[in-house]
Structure 1
Amino acid sequence: ELGDKFIRDLMQSDLEVMISLHAKGSTKSETMTKLRTKKTLMESQKIGEQQKMARTGIYLEKVGHVLENNINEAEALLQTMTQTGDKLFDTVFLIGVLADTENQLKQSLDIIKQVAGSNDMIIDNLTYMQEAAFNSLLPFGKNYLEGVSRSLLTSNIAVNAPWTSVDIQDKGGKFYGINQISSNIISIDRGKLNTPSGLILGTSGAGKGMATKHEIISTKLKEADSDTEIIIVDPENEYSIIGQAFGGESIDIAPDSTTFLNVLDLSDENMDEDPVKVKSEFLLSWIGKLLDRKMDGREKSLIDRVTRLTYKHFDTPSLVEWVFVLAQQPEQEAKDLALDMELYVEGSLDIFSHRTNIKTDSHFLIYNVKKLGDELKQIALMVIFDQIWNRVVKNQKLGKKTWIYFDEMQLLLLDKYASDFFFKLWSRVRKYGAIPTGITQNVETLLLDANGRRIIANSEFMILLKQAKSDREELVHMLGLSKELEKYLVNPEKGAGLIKAGSTVVPFKNKIPQHTKLFDIMSTDPEKMRT
């Protein structure tokens, strides 16, 4: 047996030591057979000694103390393995100590032996075996020593592994920070997750912008443009600086802008779904939000019919042609709906009635809607998401991965039409090789919305920064976090908290050094932001 007290005492001795534990397991059936065989041999030895003593006239129930103990220990070991399912491991426990002088080395060895003695253990020097021992001590995972092992149970091995912290280190993954417990780097390949969709959540000033920009820049530097496209939906113009620094193209949507997005653009590459049907679903949500009212059954049928007729009679229609077809329908509802749409086709809010005039081959796009009011902003975001859908389908056909970042994600959950459409988009793009990421400080909005809660539940990647008390408690319950992990969300330093990849959650920190060009590019300090 080997308890956990020895390593703890050794750590408290203030010695600088290296510890390596090699454990080679065997199958339980094989071990049990060997143990029973040994126990039988020792019992036979005991009977032989009793018979030998009986011939001299001495009758003893017990014989030698060592033999009796060995038999009892074998019986206890068999019982433990049967009851607990433990395995037996061939174990080498190595302690390496270095010193500048022979005298210092002797003092260190004396301390180690004293600690071992207080734990009923004996430490042996590996004299003339230093080279093999040193190689076994190094983190190669190979034991070069022979003939110095002992057998230990699973529980003995586990209790002496003080490295109880969990690490996330995907081969080929991107750097996300440092594990606050183990101080090891955290590297994650989101593409390996079953559901790579992600969320970056935290209160204002917790470091969401820095965390998002760090991942975007890491992706931009690590993945070739021919393989990857990055799209950012930027409601507050926070990403224009990194766009300029890394060759991105900013698309400004505003009432006075000459940049237009056609609401009726279709994706020619969509082979899995009927593109007209997908567009009809979009227009149902978009027009409902545009007119700020719920569409009744007759209006929904009209929208679907008009959409199909429009694509039947026009090759590249815009909202102008769509409303023209609508006005030709015989129903009174069609006339009323066309009148309601007039403001957005011929009136002062006609920014959505033009054909798309953006022809870009950029692999780094930023959609900026800061200049739009709150109502128009939500409507414009839905149009942008429809454009993004077209690009995702196109990229899948080209074999490209699409990274999509939705900043101020809560804006799309304030309205039922917008929320339903956003959730459909979120779920759909994943099937086409896209990796969506939502960023918000309004976690409460996500938690209050049914689609928001579904997005949280189905996101295997999360960066959780400082959270308000009510949000923190709800997230802890939803994600099944322990009280120990919850502490890292209470009052962490900026850019620190929890990171989740699959079922693994670890506390992390990722502080970008100030006085660096990278920090200046990533900073969301209002004084540094460009308008």
Structure 2
Amino acid sequence: MAKLKSSKKSSTQKTIPYLEMFQDGTCQITNSTYSKTIQFFDINYRLATFDEKNFIFSKYCDLLNYFDNTVKFQLTFENQNTDVDELLKMLEIPEQTDDFNDIRQEYSAMLKSQLISGSNGRVLRKFLTFTVEASSLHNARLKLDSIAAEVQNILRSMGVASTILDGKERLEVLYRSLNPFSDDPFLFDWKYRIKSGASTKDFIAPTSLRFVKSNFEIGENGFGSVYSINLLAGELSDEVLYDYLSNDDLICVNLHVEPYDQIAALKFIKGKLSDVEKMKIDEQKKATQSGYDPNILPPSVKLYIDQLEKMLDDLNSKNERLFHITLTIRAYAESKKKMKLQQDLLKRITQKNSCKLFSLDYEQEQGLCSSLPLGYNNVKVNRVLTTSAIAVFVPFTTQELFQGTDASYYGLNSLSQNMIMGNRKLLKNPNGLILGTPGSGKSFSVKREILDTFLKTTDDIIICDPEAEYYPLVQALDGQLIKISTSSQQHINPMDIVWDNEEDDENPIAVKSDFLISLMELIVGGKYGLTAEERSIVDQCVRNIYNHFLSHNPSKETMPILEDLLKELRENGGDIAKRVANSLEMYVTGSQNVFNHRTTVDLNNRIICFDIKQLGNQLRKVGMLIVQDQVWNRVSLNRGNKSTRYYIDEFHLLLKEEQTAKYSVEMWKRFRKWGGIPTGITQNIKDLLQSQEIENIFDNSDFIYMLNQAAGDRDILAEKLHISDQQLKYVTNAGRGQGLIFFGDTILPFVDRFPRDTKMYQLMTTDPADLANKVS
């Protein structure tokens, strides 16, 4: 339970400018003033196309214009320290009862090192606080809740996630703002607060505050200063806010906005215009008296007239409103020396944007109070701006992805250098694709996710390996390597069926029939595969075989094989099945009879790799399809107990043939509800994209890990995945381990700098130089 700090002086609590914070998040600032806060999150503005940026900018203007003159609002953008210990706990990997806990410890240490060296210990938080006047708390809540719902709708239309903060969450935000360098976690409980009779301010106030002319001391080891800006430039870049907040310092940018009534705004501008016209007449009189040309006016007068006329025109004809704005910047540092360096940096950023930074001398206390996301403003510096002028402070830069517990590591965000940690099981559709040219780091990325999954979860992992790339990793993890070839003594039976899974609500014979029809279509070949009559006969024969199998004490030793299917087709298929039976015979008694055996390998191992490199071209396609059926069997057994990960290298081979493509799409559509997570891997993007089924694959894949792409592939991918030119740069001539990750609605550029001096790296690398060093 939280304990109050006895060292706090009453003055620190008195500095915090509110009367009461309520559990629902309503804050009473004065007797008749109440506020509420919404936290909103980032979207990819910096990587958006020109049209997308215009759309976001326009919607943001709509958000600003939503507020009328009865509602003041505050935009707060603050870099805050987060509880690093809590983040580090998320990266702990629990030990398991196997021989790989040393690698788990190494991996966990690596992740923690990446976290500490990056920016994940600090987070940029964005708040919108709105304030209303009301005669009672009840009336205030009605107004505030209505506004909150409308604001969230507008944010949602922009693709921006948001949440309404409750009382405890608002107090936690204030605690972080007022205790910037404290290592103490925020501990608060409403019941304890009521019993103790303490004020909510007692839980958030700093231990001390000391204000001087241009800065202040806060807490035991913190220094701060509050500044404002003279907006001298006629136009500002839409990256001005990003410039201030993109460094690691604890910077807070605050905009207090007070909307004008539209009629009052027009009257105000017309009054200002009249004043400047008077100045113009006075200047013309002076020029005439002095013998100068009265049409030659001072540049400032002409500029004022042009600006006011444009503003008046915009207010009358465009989606523009007028606002009083107070802009402040609060900066924290751990020493006076750092504070001076920080001030110099802020001055350079401000000067770069053609503005002037100045300290709020003798108003530091008012500046600090006004910088808190409460909806309270006691800074007298303000300026009148239009909607679009305020909207230039676009609060969006790039999204982040850090899901913590059970999430896999995918590298660092190229823009923010924060770790990218994502849990594919949380996606609506966890199916995935990993795409990249040779040498782009594709194999390493796949192995990293496989190893991450193996170390952190109990998921089963199955790999279809046409190029024999994965067996060193599988061997190191005590996995089962199954080499399938015409000379191999290891066999898998395409007629295997799972008949004893109570969790399975689908008819196993129907599922098996669907697979065997696809297999027969691949074996028979031809442009159209099987005819409708042939499909019907194959289905009937399959049902006959399995009905007999299930009714006679089924076991692995009596499992049907392809020879049984051939016999059934010949005996009961008649003339219709003759073509199918003749085509199948080569795979039963002919030279390609590698799959006419009962399964002779252990398929219960947690990680299995099917090595099909030595199969010929025709058999390789058959082999890949049969491997997929084995995956279906494993998924069926695991259903309701654990997930099954399936990695298919050279995935384009399966999509080349109509029969295997359809079966793969069926897997992509149905795997999720069975607990399966398939991942297609390929470097032959053109072959992949030429498949008629690629749209279905893309539509059912919420995870795409895209490394460097060839020029021809980039254009097609950009069109299919709606990739902007800015995003496309990250897969154009990209270095090893660099690219774009698509994780649901989040699109991030990444770079993976995996430490080379680790056991994990040695297990995963396929770099010839690394392999040569291992041999030497």
TM-score, normalising length from structure 2? Answer: 0.55
Instruction: Tell whether 2:453 aligns with 1:219.
Output: yes
User: What is the CA deviation profile of residues 66-109 of structure 1, one whole-angstrom value per residue up to 9, with x for unaligned ones?
Assistant: xxx9xx99xx7998599537796986622437697789949957
1:303 is aligned to: 538
Is the contact made by 1:92 and 1:148 (CA closer than 8 Å) also made in structure 2? no
Segment of structure 1 superposing worse, 154-163 or 97-106: 97-106
Structure 1 residues 28-47: aligned runs within 5 Å: 31=259
Q: Which runs of 5+ in 1 are unaligned?
A: 44-68
Sort the Cα spacing of 1:126 and 1:266 in 2 relative to 1 into closer, same or farther, 3 A. Answer: farther
Write the distance in 2 (CA, Å) between the matches of 1:308 and 1:103: 78
* Secondary structure of residue in 2 paired with 1:508: strand
Shift of 1:341: 2.5
Instruction: Tell whether 2:522 aligns with 1:280.
Output: no
Which amino acid in structure 1 is aligned with residue 359 of structure 2? D
1:290 is aligned to: 523
Which amino acid in structure 1 is aligned with residue 358 of structure 2? I
Which amino acid in structure 2 is aligned with residue 446 of structure 1? L
1:22 is aligned to: 254
Sort the Cα spacing of 1:81 and 1:497 in 2 relative to 1 into closer, same or farther, 3 A. Answer: farther
Write the distance in 2 (CA, Å) between the matches of 1:322 and 1:118: 77
Shift of 1:492: 0.8
Write the distance in 2 (CA, Å) between the matches of 1:313 and 1:515: 58
2:683 is aligned to: 441
**Aligned counterpart for 2:568 among listed residues 305, 319, 325:** 325
Shift of 1:260: 2.0
Is the contact made by 1:17 and 1:95 (CA closer than 8 Å) also made in structure 2? no
Structure 1 residues 404-415: aligned runs within 5 Å: 404-415=646-657
Write the distance in 2 (CA, Å) between the matches of 1:504 and 1:114: 29
Is the contact made by 1:176 and 1:186 (CA closer than 8 Å) also made in structure 2? yes
Shift of 1:506: 2.2
**Aligned counterpart for 2:670 among listed residues 424, 428, 440:** 428
Shift of 1:314: 2.5
2:475 is aligned to: 244
1:124 is aligned to: 359
Sort the Cα spacing of 1:379 and 1:122 in 2 relative to 1 into closer, same or farther, 3 A. Answer: closer
Shift of 1:448: 0.9
Write the distance in 1 (CA, Å) between the matches of 2:622 and 2:686: 22
Shift of 1:262: 1.7
User: What is the CA deviation profile of residues 48-81 of structure 1, one whole-angstrom value per residue up to 9, with x for unaligned ones?
Assistant: xxxxxxxxxxxxxxxxxxxxx9xx99xx799859
Shift of 1:420: 1.7
TM-score, normalising length from structure 1? Answer: 0.78
1:191 is aligned to: 425
Structure 1 residues 306-385: aligned runs within 5 Å: 306-315=541-550, 316-329=559-572, 331-335=574-578, 337-385=580-628
Is the contact made by 1:396 and 1:432 (CA closer than 8 Å) also made in structure 2? yes
Which amino acid in structure 2 is aligned with residue 303 of structure 1? V
Sort the Cα spacing of 1:366 and 1:6 in 2 relative to 1 into closer, same or farther, 3 A. Answer: closer
* Secondary structure of residue in 1 paired with 2:763: helix
Write the distance in 2 (CA, Å) between the matches of 1:387 and 1:114: 60
Sort the Cα spacing of 1:433 and 1:342 in 2 relative to 1 into closer, same or farther, 3 A. Answer: same
User: What is the CA deviation profile of residues 264-308 of structure 1, one whole-angstrom value per residue up to 9, with x for unaligned ones?
Assistant: 222333743322222222112112212333223332222111111
Write the distance in 1 (CA, Å) between the matches of 2:587 and 2:432: 34
Write the distance in 2 (CA, Å) between the matches of 1:445 and 1:114: 49
Shift of 1:256: 2.4
* Secondary structure of residue in 1 paired with 2:358: coil
Write the distance in 1 (CA, Å) between the matches of 2:477 and 2:316: 60
Q: CA RMSD in A?
A: 4.3
Relative contact order, CA 8 A, sep 6+: which one is greater? 1
Which amino acid in structure 2 is aligned with residue 22 of structure 1? N
* Secondary structure of residue in 2 paired with 1:388: helix
Instruction: Tell whether 2:463 aligns with 1:232.
Output: yes
User: What is the CA deviation profile of residues 349-387 of structure 1, one whole-angstrom value per residue up to 9, with x for unaligned ones?
Assistant: 322122223344322222221221221111111111011
1:401 is aligned to: 643
Sort the Cα spacing of 1:330 and 1:383 in 2 relative to 1 into closer, same or farther, 3 A. Answer: closer
Is the contact made by 1:199 and 1:462 (CA closer than 8 Å) also made in structure 2? yes
Shift of 1:162: 7.4
2:742 is aligned to: 500
Which amino acid in structure 1 is aligned with residue 547 of structure 2? K
Is the contact made by 1:18 and 1:96 (CA closer than 8 Å) also made in structure 2? yes
Which amino acid in structure 1 is aligned with residue 412 of structure 2? I
Shift of 1:346: 2.8
* Secondary structure of residue in 1 paired with 2:535: helix
Is the contact made by 1:16 and 1:97 (CA closer than 8 Å) also made in structure 2? no
Is the contact made by 1:205 and 1:494 (CA closer than 8 Å) also made in structure 2? yes
* Secondary structure of residue in 2 paired with 1:345: coil
Sort the Cα spacing of 1:157 and 1:186 in 2 relative to 1 into closer, same or farther, 3 A. Answer: farther
* Secondary structure of residue in 1 paired with 2:482: strand
Sort the Cα spacing of 1:113 and 1:209 in 2 relative to 1 into closer, same or farther, 3 A. Answer: closer
Which amino acid in structure 2 is aligned with residue 351 of structure 1? V
**Aligned counterpart for 1:265 among listed residues 496, 501, 512:** 496
- Equivalent pairs counted in the alignment come to 488
Write the distance in 2 (CA, Å) between the matches of 1:385 and 1:106: 60
